[in-house]
Structures are given as C-alpha cells and as structure tokens.
Chain A
C-alpha cells in the first residue's frame, strides 16, 4: 500500500514539474531548443487596456501570441509535422511548398508560373501589368544611360526558375480553367532586347548546361540554384562587369565538383517542413571556390538589387577577394554586406550609386513582376532632382488639385474613408504623384534620356571631368 502511494506520489510530483516545463523554458530560454526554419510574421505581445480586455481583443490576441511563444514549441511543431508527414504525406507549410514528382519540391509560385504564366502575386489585369512592366523596362533603360555617363554599369541578370530547368518533376497541372496570362519572363526579355538594355538571361544557358553536366543545377529539396550553378553564374557576371568596365578582376576558381555534405540553403524547402528527421535527398555536388589574385587586378564596387537568388552567390563565392565592396540591397529594402547602412531608406541614393562601378539587378522569373522593387524610379529621381525642386513641384501639384474640382472631390472621398483632414490628404496625393508618377509630373522624364541632373550628380560629374 505504501509503495503504491509512493509511486503515485512520485508520478504526481513529476507531473507537476512537467506542467511548468514549457513556461520555464519559454521565459528562461533554457534549455535551448533548435528554432524552427522559415520566416513568419512576428506576433507581438498584445496591449492590455480596459477596452481590449472588455471586448475580448486582448484575450484573443494573447492566445495567438501564445501559439507562437510557448516553451518547447519547435519540438512540438516538428513532432506534429513529422506525424503528418509520415502518415499523411503532408505538413502545415500552407501554400509554401508544392510536392513534385519523385520527391522534388517547388515553391508553388514557380509551378503557377510554369503552367499559367505566373501571376501568383499579381492582382492586376494583364493590360495594366504590361503597362507597368513596359514603364519599368524604360526606366531601366533611362537609368542605364544616365549611369553610363558616370562610368557606372547597370545590368540585369535574369535568374532561371527551378520550374523552367526541371519541369519534368513538376506535379501535373490539375487546374485547367485558368487562362494563361502574360509572362514577365518573355516580356522583359523582348523589352530588354528592344531597348538595348544590358542583361544576361541565364535560363537558356542553364537549359543547355543541364544535359552536359552530371551535377544538379537546382537541388532537389531547395528552391534556388545550387552552389555550383551559382558559382558558374557568378563567374559569368564578374566577367561581364570586367568587359563592361574595361578592367581586370581577380579570378574565381571553381574546383572539381564532388558530392558533398548538404549545405544551406540547398535544402531550404525541406527545412521549411520542420520535420524531426531529414528527408532522403538526391546527392548534391559542391566545388571549392577560391579567388586567384591577378596582377593589376581592380576590385570594383558592385551594388546588387534583387531577390534571394543572390544569397547563394554571397554564401559560397569569396566576394571580398573579388570586390572592394558588394552591398546587397535585398528587395531594395534591407541592406546586407554594408557596415554603414541597414536599409535603403538610410542611403543617399545618388551618392551611393555614383560611387559604384556596377549596379546589378538580379531577379528570378517569378519575381520579375516586381523588377527592381521601385529602385529604378527612386534612382532616377535622386539623379535628376534635388529635394527642394521636388518640393516646389509638389506645391504646384497641390495648387492644381485645389483648382480641379473633380480631383479634389476624389481626394475628399478618400480623406473621409481614411479619416484624414483634407489638407493632409492633398499633401499626400501631391507627394505620391510627384514621387511615383514621375513621367507625368516631373518634366525631366518627358525626354527619352533625361538631361537634367541633381546637384549631387552634377558635383560628381564635375569632379570626374576635372
């Protein structure tokens, strides 16, 4: 009897200790637990006020917060995902992964792009999309010519999508009712050729290479080009910069491809599953990448604006040995590899651009719809206008708005909707018009290649000429 009592007592005490384990782990952060892969929106701790408590908002938000913040969460999520994967071949990576044939994984927008011309994130109709892309291509053309005058090479690198290089592993298209929409991939290609824009389309090159090499250009469980493919692309890009700049750079040496231990991010899609056990994968080749010094080599400065495809280049290629600096303006928002700036908002754009030797726009097929992420417009404005001039034009636009009844009425309605004062709505509208619809509101952009320059650009030009 005593022994039974002892057993149940021990079990009950153990239960009490275990009940507090998640709370303690969450608040003390001990023991450390391997965090979950992937990015999600951070759920903030809710604000407790009398109103949020009484209307239940605080309680609902706290529950949501606790779903993301409780002890041992990664373990429980992995455990449940592993169960779903083992028994039902599914996980809760909602909409982030599409399972193809023979265990190949794709991001769903690549599948969409392959079968339906890729309008995954595009809400616009084809016609306005074409207009937007045409305008963007023309801005690239303008920017390329302006930067050329300052000895800066602007060029575009179109990265291939995994869908185009390995379509044989794509899942069958089950949706037959959607019409094929405009493809940014082919549209930009035509525009770039038509306007003579510096660009490298790596897609055809990859397709040719695919049958001649015995390594994978895209990892089976990853979304970006493989380490070795990225290295070949990087080498070509650097040669392109050399040729355009008329300089000699240190050489990138690519060693013999050999099967190696999987390196990040070659299994980034698999990681997103957040399973307990790794999946079986096709072997991946890796090559040793070194920079070989060249006599009289110049280390240029290259700014890269683009999507995540550049990560693989940065991750494997010894960029510091090849470039003086190589800031990476990720989606023209966060800045990496730059000790001075963290976001593009902090940057003096004209000054930064004119101090570079090359500017590369690198986008994969599904991101072409957001080509440059507004970088070109911002750069054109920065190179052609001073702030004071823009303010004057904005004041003029504000005056025009106030004298145009139709326009004013439209803004009044919007002010009502967003609960703004009419004055601030007018300022907002004028500012947006001047800084975004530059072709309509800024006279310099009426010309094919603007000749007007901002003070910074002018100063730079004078110093070059001297």
Chain B
C-alpha cells in the first residue's frame, strides 16, 4: 500500500486513526502493530511471514546478546543478529544481480550459465533491514536498553509510516517513544498538515513531472526489448531537451522522496512519534559533501554511524579515509538498487566527496554561495542521470547529449501544466536560499501555531488534501459521450 492511493487515503488512514485514538493508551501500540502488519501484508503478502519470522528471531537474538556477560559471546551474537537482516537483504535484493553477473562472467569464460529462479524484492526490505541493524548495534553499544516486549520491537521494525520508504529511524531516536509518548491535539493537527504537504509534493509535483520524464526515458525499470527504442531516441536528443529532462527528474526524485518522508513524519507525529527529518533543502547545497548532509539525512547518519566510523573513519590516515568515504558511497549506491547504474551513481558521489576533501570544498567556498549552489546543483543533476537510467550505455549516451551542444530540435513533451509544475518545484527547491524563504520554512514546519493560524492552516490543509485526491483520481476519468459498438 502506498500513501498516495485511495485505499490508504480514504479507507486505511481514517479507519486506523479512528481505532487508534478510540483505544486505551496501553493498547495503542498493539493497534499500530496490527495496522502495520496489515499495511505490509497488503503490498507484499508473500513476504509478511519472512518479515515476522526474521523480526522475532532478531528480537530474541538481541535479548540473548544483552543477557550474555561474555564479551566474545556478545560479539558473536551481535554478528549473527546483524547477519539475519543483512543476509535477507543480500539474498532478496542482490540475489538476482549476483546471479546475472556471475552468469555473465561464466558466459565470457565459455562456461554454461547457472540456472536460478528470479527472486522477488520484498518492499521496504532496505529500510527495515537497516533499522534492525541499528537496534542490534545500539543495544550492543549500550546506547539504549533492549525492548522488553516482542510487540514493541516488532512495532519499531514494521511501523507503517516509515516501513516502505523511511526515514530510517535509528533505534536510539525512538526507543523512548515506543514505550511512552504523548501527542497533543496541536501535534496531531501539525502531523496532518505535514502529511498534506508531503502528499502535495508527491501528487501535485513529483507525479506530474514524472509522467513527462517517463514519456521521454521510458519506465524506470526498462525491459531489455525497450532499450533499442530508447537508445534511438536518446542518441539524437537535442541538448536543451536532455537538460530539461535531467532537471525534471532531479525535481521529480526530490519531491517524490521528500514528499514521502513528509507524509511519514506527519503520520508519526499524529501518533506522537518524532521521526528524524530526512531532507533539508538539498538543492541549496554548496558542495556534494553538504548535499549529503541535506539529502536523505537518515541514510547519511546510518552510513556515518554504522559503516564509516566502524571502518575506521578518518582515524586511520588520510588514504584510508578517502577509501572509507568512497566505499561508503559505493555501498550507498548499491543500497539504492541492485544494478550497476546505482554503483556508478554512488561511486560518482563518493568521488566528489573525496574531491571536496582534497580541494573542491575550498574552491566552492571561495567562489561564493550562488555559483557554488549552481555548480553543485548541476553536478547532482548530471549524476542523477545514472540513478534514473538503469542501462549504463543509455545513461552515458544521455550525458553525452547533455554536452553535445546540439540544439537542433527541442522535443520535450511538456505542456503548460508540466512547465508550471517545474517552475514551482524550482522555486520551492531554492526558496530557503533567501532570508524570507528560511522564515517561511520555519513558520510552516517548526512553529507552534496560534488558534487563528490553526484555523486557517486547517482549512488550507483540507482544501489541499481534497485537491490532491482530485488530482490523484482525475486521470482515471476519461469518458466518451456515447458508447460506440
């Protein structure tokens, strides 16, 4: 189930919150857990058993680990507890990828390919696996006490607002809230406002732009039979069109992902959870390093705390630091998707982070805010091409068209709606570069509203919500005057 669907918006969400708030406080976690399992079982019925079993297994492993006094035994149990979710992630997410590459190598060396059955990717596995790892490590490190109740642990892993697409909530961030939390009426309303903001980002901006991008580049997961057609189209693409498509995707992915995070944070807040922020105006970054402090912040924090630092961080010399950084981003790329384009995407980001450390960061600081923001944005836009286009050859051809300076025929198939949406997306992406933009953001996201403000914002939120539902469903109605036989 996705948030931007009728099933969720008009049925699941109202029904859930009604039951949740009508139930006594003590039972609310059970309601939320049950709803989360239903939510997951709706979208991935085949994997709900694996999710539940692996969660139960991990809970008891961690419990056992915490009860063990022996350091070596604790270490082993910690490793096993991490290996369970990561093993599942490896098998489900990277099984196909590994086999495809293995068979490619076997083919090159003249051996017969191995046969295997394609594995379906369970939705949200990348997120709940990481959350599971944070629970194990945070308790292992003694940052937090383990949860006493299995249901609470299952709730932490499967909580529906962040189950599918994050933010990656570290155990230490919500450990106390799972046990006890408060949500005032104002919190609940502000959660709803935040949810509506996210919904609008997703439906009114990302989806509108996305339709246009898909028309130009084909679906994100390309069927091999489509590659030829898309290649023919891309190989002759006008430079202006190529840049506009890349820009469109840059905005699409931001508003899509940030919108989803907003919805998750909003839903959490209604229930009294304060999930960490995931985005902080990433396109206003003045370097790629800063970009990663603003983009998918919870992933950045996870990588920093659970990968970069354990690898040695910057404590083992400069050379090792660069290697660690690059490795982290390479793996971050691979985490985003099991395909070589994601590896390239991660590697490029890693490369720019290293360059920042070497000299680029200083250069960017020297040239001033606006030029550095523009340069960083352009870099990010180009790198996004490798994220969007799964076929490396296609992605590379696309990038070459961006620098072909061939302005022979602009073929971007946008209409006034798409262009307006792009403009709105651009405005909102760069708004906080201005002083009043920052004030506005603070006012909208982080201020307690007065009564009067609540009334107005409530009305606006309701109208925007209705408008989002309208936009979500308007495309489904395409009538004829009369049926013709």
Contact = CB atoms under 8 A, between A and B. Distances in A.
Contacts of A64: 476
Nearest to A84: B417
7 contacts: A7-B454, A16-B14, A37-B479, A68-B476, A71-B10, A76-B473, A272-B480
B480 A96 contact: yes
Interface stretch (B41-49, B161-169, B226-234, B428-436): B41-49
A67 B473 contact: yes
Nearest to A5: B185
Nearest to A50: B45
A73 B482 CA distance: 21
Interface string A250-294: 000000000000000000110110100000000000000000000
Interface residues of B, number: 50
A315 interface: no
B56 interface: no
Interface in B36-61: 42-43, 45-46
Interface stretch (B243-251, B377-385, B464-472): B464-472
A336 B399 CA distance: 61
B7 interface: yes
Contacts of A34: none
Interface in B453-479: 454-455, 458, 462, 466-467, 469-479
Contacts of B471: 80
Interface residues of A, number: 66
B479 A272 contact: yes
Contact of A8 (B6, B184, B477): B184
Interface string A86-118: 011110111110000000000100000000000
Interface in B287-332: none
B478 A88 contact: no
A274 B454 contact: no
A156 B470 CA distance: 45
B481 A268 contact: yes
Contacts of B479: 36-40, 93, 96, 272, 274
A22 interface: yes
A121 B480 CA distance: 14
Contacts of A14: 458
B481 A94 contact: no
Contacts of A94: 478
User: Closest 4 CB pairs between A and B?
Assistant: A38-B479, A8-B185, A76-B470, A19-B14
A188 to B, nearest CB: 18
Interface in B1-54: 1, 5-7, 10-11, 13-14, 17-18, 21, 42-43, 45-46
Contacts of A7: 451, 454-455
A18 B484 contact: no
Contacts of B485: 331-333, 370, 373
B474 A66 contact: no
A81 interface: yes
B446 interface: no
Contact of B417 (A16, A88, A121): A88
Interface stretch (A53-61, A392-400, A403-411): A53-61
A294 to B, nearest CB: 34
A327 B31 CA distance: 61
B437 to A, nearest CB: 24
A232 interface: no
A178 interface: no
Contact of B477 (A36, A79, A332): A36
Given A5-B185, A53-B45, A90-B417, A11 B473 contact: no
A66 B478 contact: no
A443 to B, nearest CB: 30
Given A67-B476, A79-B470, 8 more contacts: A5-B185, A12-B185, A36-B477, A40-B479, A53-B45, A87-B416, A88-B415, A307-B484
Nearest to A96: B480
B482 A79 contact: no
Question: Which residue among A92, A271, A332 has the maximum number of chain B CB atoms within 10 Å of its CB?
Answer: A92
A40 B473 CA distance: 14
A3 interface: yes
A40 B13 contact: no
Interface class of chain A by DSSP: helix
A423 to B, nearest CB: 31
Contacts of B484: 121, 307, 331, 367
B483 interface: yes
Interface stretch (B77-85, B124-132, B186-194, B351-359): B186-194
Contacts of A308: 481-482
Contacts of A4: 186, 450-451
Given A79-B466, A373-B485, A20 B7 contact: no
Contacts of A83: 467, 470
Nearest to B478: A94
A349 interface: no
Given A62-B7, A67-B6, A79-B466, A40 B477 contact: yes
Contacts of B42: 59
Nearest to A3: B451
Contact of B6 (A37, A63, A95): A63
A19 B17 contact: yes
B45 A63 contact: no
Contacts of A36: 477, 479
A54 B188 contact: no
A38 B481 contact: yes
A274 B470 CA distance: 13
A40 B11 CA distance: 24
A449 interface: no
B478 A92 contact: yes
Question: Which residue among A7, A63, A71, A269 has the maximum number of chain B CB atoms within 10 Å of its CB?
Answer: A7
